[in-house]
Amino acid sequence: MTRAAVLPAIGTPLRLAEIDLPDPGPGQVRVRLAAAGVCHSDLSLSNGTLRQPAPAVLGHEGSGTVTAVGEGVTGVAPGDAVVLNWAPSCGDCHFCGLAEPWLCANAGGAATAPYAKLRSDGSELYPGLGTAAFAEETVVPAHAVLPLPEGVPLTDAALLGCAVLTGYGAVHHCAQVRPGESVAVFGVGGVGLAVLQAARIAGAGPIVAVDVSPAKEELARAAGATEFVPAGDETAKRIRALTGGHGTDVAIECVGRAETIRTAWSATRRGGRTAVVGIGGKEQQVSFSALELFYFGRTLSGCVYGNSDPARDLPVLAEHIRAGRLDLSAMVTERIGLDGIPAAFDAMLQGRGGRALVVF
């Protein structure tokens, strides 16, 4: 028996409940969670923006300790500290064959099969994004855990599982920011804060943070922003004024709204790169004229999981953490219990805070 925050049905509030987890089967691992980040993707799963079978236990950004392993598991053992990987690549599909594991066609398979039961009535539960981190313990496929490198705090390491891999990858893999390039970051949430830190590590400058909440300026500057622009009708114009009238070399959108994507595009210089990290609904339609696509010569790209390979990138991130270049704790604006997740969802809807971290 373990406690979890359960989503009874899409569009309903989460509620605390006791659930029964099975022993790990062949190729599975049981993990006792140390922490789980509350990501905007969890909110999108709960309200139906992203597809999710229900009832479910959400949460995909987590870290913890292995307590048991099933038959055939050799990569980790009980007692090992691990980070959850919500998008484990299969290694066999078309995209994995192209060395693009972030696009793996089979990464979401675990999310479609029940993994536990409600203790109260025996109802089957689905694991949000295959990981179900909003619980004291979870059972996941062995390839959905990554050994935590030494020197990384176990609790804060939860952020590596989504926000940091996504933000760092958006800068270094997707946008391929070079030293001295200017960068604009739209949305100062958990991923946006990771993008700002990654842009600083890349040697970018100036680094412009954009958010609807002026209260986030201090948080953004602490993460690496050299300028802060409140979101509004004049955002793109103000960013061009900060960059010699040209716009930034790179704009990274971390919100997933049509108007924000359009503004990020408009704030990018001719020949620059606009990367969309935020996940929006299918109703969010963005329009471009054929003439502007030709004239501005910009590159617009989607960015899935930061175009990251967690097995490759986690050791790199750990080295940045050990060297003091990447500060995980600075991204955490609130440490909560399971019962604090609904309030954290509300804060995201209202554009408040950075990353709330459930600490077990």
Q: Examine the domain organization and report whether 222 and 342 are in the same domain.
A: no
Q: What share of the chain is helix, strand, coil (3-state, %, to 5)?
A: 35, 25, 40
Is the model's pLDDT at 109 over the cut of 90? Answer: no
Q: Examine the domain organization and report whether 210 and 107 are in the same domain.
A: no
Q: Examine the domain organization and report whether 262 and 117 are in the same domain.
A: no
Tell me the C-alpha distance between 152 and 149, whole Å. Answer: 6
pLDDT of residue 68: 97
Is the model's pLDDT at 351 over the cut of 80? Answer: no
Q: For the chain, first and last CA: distance in Å?
A: 15
Q: How many CA atoms lie within 13 A of 300 on its CB side?
A: 16
pLDDT of residue 50: 87
319 found inside a domain: no
Signed CA dihedral, 53, 54, 58, 64: sign only? negative
**Which CATH number fits the domain that encloses residue 238?**
3.40.50.720
Tokens representing 323? Answer: 């060297």
Q: Tell me the per-residue pLDDT of 52-99, one tens digit each, with 9 for 90 and over.
A: 899 999 999 999 999 999 999 999 999 999 999 999 999 999 999 999
Chain centre to alpha carbon of residue 284: 20
User: Could you tell me which residues are beta bridge partners of residue 253?
Assistant: 186, 276
354 found inside a domain: yes
**Strand, helix or coil for residue 138:** strand
Q: Tell me the per-residue pLDDT of 307-334, one tens digit each, with 9 for 90 and over.
A: 999 999 999 999 999 999 999 999 999 9
Among 250, 245, 164, which Cα is nearest to 205's? 250
313 found inside a domain: no
Q: Tell me the per-residue pLDDT of 113-172, one tens digit each, with 9 for 90 and over.
A: 999 999 999 999 999 999 999 999 999 999 999 999 999 999 999 999 999 999 999 999
User: Could you tell me which residues are beta bridge partners of residue 208?
Assistant: 184, 227
**Strand, helix or coil for residue 152:** coil
Q: Examine the domain organization and report whether 114 and 203 are in the same domain.
A: no
Q: Tell me the per-residue pLDDT of 232-250, one tens digit each, with 9 for 90 and over.
A: 989 999 999 999 999 999 9
Q: Tell me the per-residue pLDDT of 12-55, one tens digit each, with 9 for 90 and over.
A: 999 999 999 999 999 999 999 999 999 989 988 998 888 889 99
pLDDT of residue 171: 98
**Which CATH number fits the domain that encloses residue 339?**
3.90.180.10
Tokens representing 6? Answer: 């359960």
153 found inside a domain: yes
Q: Examine the domain organization and report whether 81 and 180 are in the same domain.
A: no
pLDDT of residue 322: 95
Domain encompassing residue 277? 164-304
Among 183, 188, 189, which Cα is nearest to 208's? 183
Residue 333: how many other CB atoms lie within 10 Å: 18
Tokens representing 331? Answer: 């991204």
Pairing status of strand 207-211 against strand 183-186:
parallel
Q: Examine the domain organization and report whether 153 and 54 are in the same domain.
A: yes
Q: Examine the domain organization and report whether 108 and 239 are in the same domain.
A: no
Q: Please tell me the pTM assigned to this model.
A: 0.93
pLDDT of residue 62: 97
Q: Examine the domain organization and report whether 338 and 287 are in the same domain.
A: no
Q: Examine the domain organization and report whether 26 and 78 are in the same domain.
A: yes
User: Could you tell me which residues are beta bridge partners of residue 248?
Assistant: 268
Report whether 201 contacts 320 (CB < 8 A): yes
Tell me the C-alpha distance between 35 and 159, whole Å. Answer: 9
Query: Residue ranges of the alpha helices (H) in the chain?
Result: 40-47, 94-97, 163-169, 190-201, 217-223, 235-242, 258-266, 290-296, 310-322, 341-349
Report whether 247 contacts 274 (CB < 8 A): no
pLDDT of residue 347: 87
Which residues does 52 contact at the CB level (< 8 Å), separation at least 6?
Answer: 7, 10, 45, 46, 58, 111, 126, 128
Tokens representing 75? Answer: 């990569």
Tokens representing 97? Answer: 């064959």
pLDDT of residue 353: 73
Q: Examine the domain organization and report whether 68 and 18 are in the same domain.
A: yes
275 found inside a domain: yes
Tell me the C-alpha distance between 292 and 176, whole Å. Answer: 23
- Total domains in the chain come to 2
Is the model's pLDDT at 214 over the cut of 80? Answer: yes
Asked if omega into 230 is within 30° of 0 (cis), the reply is no
Residue 150: how many other CB atoms lie within 10 Å: 8
309 found inside a domain: no
* Amino acid symbol at 266: S
Q: Examine the domain organization and report whether 134 and 226 are in the same domain.
A: no
48 found inside a domain: yes
CA distances, 25 to each of 1, 55, 68, 71, 185 (Å): 17, 22, 10, 7, 43
Tell me the C-alpha distance between 254 and 274, whole Å. Answer: 11
315 found inside a domain: no
Of 126 and 280, the one with more pLDDT: 126
Q: Examine the domain organization and report whether 154 and 171 are in the same domain.
A: no
DSSP string, 89-131: --SSSHHHHTT-GGG-TTTTGGGGS--EEETTT--EEEEGGGT
Asked if omega into 114 is within 30° of 0 (cis), the reply is no
